Structure 1
Amino acid sequence: MNSNRAFIVSLAATSLLLSSLPSTAAWLYESNESAFEESDTVHMAVTVGMYGGFGVRCQDEEMKAVYILADANFDRDTIERSNRMKAMKLKLRVDKDEILTLDALGSLGDGGSFVLTSNVTRLQVEQFRQAKKNIAVAVAILGRNYYEDKLSVTGSTSAVGSVIKHCFAESDN
């Protein structure tokens, strides 16, 4: 199972679990270890919001922010053109801090879900871990925001902290 598919499966399971919780869903940490390659271990911290899920994923010390929309109105042609033009962005804002506008790539997942991924730095992920009130996320195409959501930070300190700890464990030694 590739890392994107593993993340989507993990997020789907998380969504089902969290759907039974109050509207302020908690963050969860998940690790998916490859049976064949130690370097293929994926560490993830995920939460769900109004439109889908958001999380951070680490594999081989490479961090990505991932926003998955269960039902987006983007067709394959729009996504491909936007990717070629580098017109798609992931917008993030922790509490009332500076708005981050990150280059992103979109794709259609299984069952029509829309997946937006963006490279993030360790420092940016540390901001997610230290959030006090909420993390706002949106898809931006040609400057226009779509699917804006504010996510709870309940459990983000522990879940995102675990991703950081496991992702950079070897390089910190």
Structure 2
Amino acid sequence: MKRKMYNQDFSTRRRFLGLAGSAAVAGTIPMVTLRPLEATPEMLASAIRNVVGSATVTTGKVKLDIPPLVENGNAVPMTVSLASPMTPDDHVKSIHVFNEKNPQPNIGNFYLGPACGRAQISTRIRLADSQKVVAIAHLSDGSFWSATADIVVTLAACTEEAS
């Protein structure tokens, strides 16, 4: 009896999927095509302003270690660090990473505190094309510091075909 119920359930699912597929082919179900937005410099500036508000961002203090030339943009290693005592009175509160050619330019937000012991984050990022990467650190005194790197990608991450 269990086998019969299973066969009935299976045939009902199969019938539903067949009808849904036929409806999609016939055009009764609207099909949505998604395509990525084009990134603009204004989108990068807006993403940075969402993090820093109206504060001034000063160049310096932040060390952005990322290869200037990468063969494959699928996994680009990156380290952001600052020399900070990481005490309750003097520490890095957060590190934010942005890139200019992504429709969602805020790559990551990393929140730190005195207990971290060291103001450093390491990760891998995906870059679809040659572009600028910006790292901004928010210190406990309320100041923002940044570093920028231009990266040349010879094989874009988003255009590589699966084998």
**TM band (smaller chain):** 0.3 to 0.5
TM-score normalised to the size of structure 1?
0.34
TM-score normalised to the size of structure 2?
0.36
Structure number, greater radius of gyration: 2
**Structure having the larger proportion of residues in helix:** 1
